Structure 1
Amino acid sequence: MSLAQLSTPAPTVAPAVRPAVALADRREAAQAAPAASAPSAPRIRAVPEGSEARGFVFYVGIDEAKAEADGTSLHEIVAELRRLTAQLAPSAETYAAVALAPEGAGGRDVDVVRLALQEPTALAQQHADEADADRHPDGVIIDISRKRVLLDGEPAGLTYKEFELLQYLVLREGRTIDRHELIDGLWGDADDAPNERTIDVHVRRLRSKLAHYEDIVRTVRGAGYRFDRHADVSIRQASTPSPDVF
């Protein structure tokens, strides 16, 4: 996947004013509690000798379409995070960067961000995946943990909903799933929930992107759809943990 990074320096943010009542309550609590009984701040993880913690990175995975569906935007999310940081720690400095990827690249948004910003564990996982693809260039890799599909070593370019559909079938391997269950499981009571015919359209699009491996998603006439694993299909459900987990 070809990735580009777009970074913009954070504008100066005036410290937000905390509600007076909340501040007063916190001061009273601090004064009432003996200094000896005050709990120590939890350590996030060991800091190597000779070094000190100077901040942290917080990865947010969301594209513009999902943000709009949630009633917000990437700009608003960044502004709110900066406001919260200024409120909690007025002396903190902030810097925001936007991760870019080619349209239709697939994968989890948060992994795209981690790769674009050169997060070491994400890069190590990518190198391991590439080495694995070199060793096994043929076949299908369905990576549940990173929400992507590789066909003969190349990304299949599934949309988010197409991957969700495939994942739903994969996690119920060998069982025929009827259209009603797919609608309930993937859309629930959403206003844009499809009907049974639309489900067929989604499946046809998914199978077309699976190309010559399309038969891993089988149509069971009059019943629904089923995922059948072949010898050349590999499923991954765990990935290397990221150090961004507190």
Structure 2
Amino acid sequence: MSIAHLAPRPTALSTADAASAAVASAAPSAPARIRAVPEGTEARGFVLYVGIDEDKAGADGTDLGRIVEALKALAAEIAPSSETYAAVALAPRGAGGRDVDVVRLALQDPAALAKQRQAPDEQDRARDGVVVDLSRKRVLLDNNPANLTYKEFELLQYLVLREGRTIERAELITSLWSAGDDEVPNERTIDVHVRRLRSKLGDYEDIVRTVRGVGYRFDRHADVSVRHTSTPSPDLF
């Protein structure tokens, strides 16, 4: 008996399934429709707002020009027929607010402009500011508690108690971590801890300011209040 006789013959069902699979694989898939595009219109491109200032870019080991060129190169690689145009958003030095919101306003994003035109009393109700409560070891953002870890609060507290002074990364490490800790960061990874803290501060992330080439500083704005303890903090000498 030959080996060919041992192979099972395809049934009618398996042949039909194979044919259906071949047709399905050959049929081009329909492009996904962007739901935000109304009927009768077509998408001609998109805008990506990137919020980052030169200090933060420098802390990440780059600069705005390199970020722009990398994004343009990525677009050309994915879609060679795409056209790109980059515009830099300018704001007064030291202006508060999230970087990406400043960019959207500076570049006239309709949604950001509509939010800015919100009635003043509605804005007051929506934004109650930041409360750094040192006595109760908590931070309130617009009356909502921020979910900071113990070490993140310690990091913020250290900067708050030294308001107006730029703290070097090495000082933060030696003051807030000990050799017995599970993880002791180096001067590079301290930036990761600061980024995590900033992300939890949300719209108020800029109260922790990067001083390029030096370290970090607490920047108090009009909507930031600090509640001190009745006794001196143990980390002030």
Scaled by the length of structure 1, the TM-score of the pair is: 0.49
1:91 partner amino acid: S
Q: Distance in 1 between matches of 2:116 and 2:104?
A: 11
Of 106, 128, 135, the residue aligned with 1:141 is: 128
Of 131, 136, 140, the residue aligned with 1:170 is: 140
Q: Distance in 1 between matches of 2:23 and 2:157?
A: 51
Q: Distance in 2 between matches of 1:40 and 1:191?
A: 55
Q: Where do 4+ consecutive residues of structure 1 move more than 4 Å?
A: 177-181, 184-187, 205-211, 222-225
Q: Distance in 2 between matches of 1:97 and 1:207?
A: 28
Q: Distance in 2 between matches of 1:123 and 1:34?
A: 46
**1:5 corresponds to:** none
Q: Distance in 2 between matches of 1:88 and 1:141?
A: 43
* Partner deviation per Cα, 1:200-226 (whole Å, 9 max, x = no partner): xx9xx9697559x84x5232425679x
Of 31, 56, 69, the residue aligned with 1:41 is: 31
Unaligned runs of 5+ in 2: 1-21, 133-137, 160-168, 177-207, 209-216
**Structure 1 residues 102, 130: closer, same or farther in 2, change over 3 A?**
farther
Q: How does 1:194-205 map to 2 (within 5 A)?
A: 195=175
Identity %: 47
Q: Distance in 1 between matches of 2:72 and 2:219?
A: 43
**Contact between 2:89 and 2:107, CA under 8 Å: does it hold in 1?**
yes
* Partner deviation per Cα, 1:222-244 (whole Å, 9 max, x = no partner): 5679xxxxxxxxxxxxxxxxxxx
Scaled by the length of structure 2, the TM-score of the pair is: 0.51
DSSP-derived class of the 2:33 partner: coil
Q: How does 1:1-246 map to 2 (within 5 A)?
A: 34-36=25-27, 39-128=29-118, 130=120, 132=122, 141-142=128-129, 169-170=139-140, 181-183=153-155, 191=170, 193=172, 195=175, 209-210=221-222, 214=225, 216-222=226-232
- Tell me how large the CA RMSD over aligned residues is: 4.4
Unaligned runs of 5+ in 1: 1-30, 144-148, 150-161, 163-167, 197-201, 226-246
* Partner deviation per Cα, 1:84-122 (whole Å, 9 max, x = no partner): 111111111111000011111110000011001111111
Q: Distance in 2 between matches of 1:186 and 1:43?
A: 50
Larger radius of gyration between Structure 1 and Structure 2: 2
* Partner deviation per Cα, 1:114-156 (whole Å, 9 max, x = no partner): 00111111111111164535x77xxx7317xxxxx9xxxxxxx
DSSP-derived class of the 1:170 partner: strand
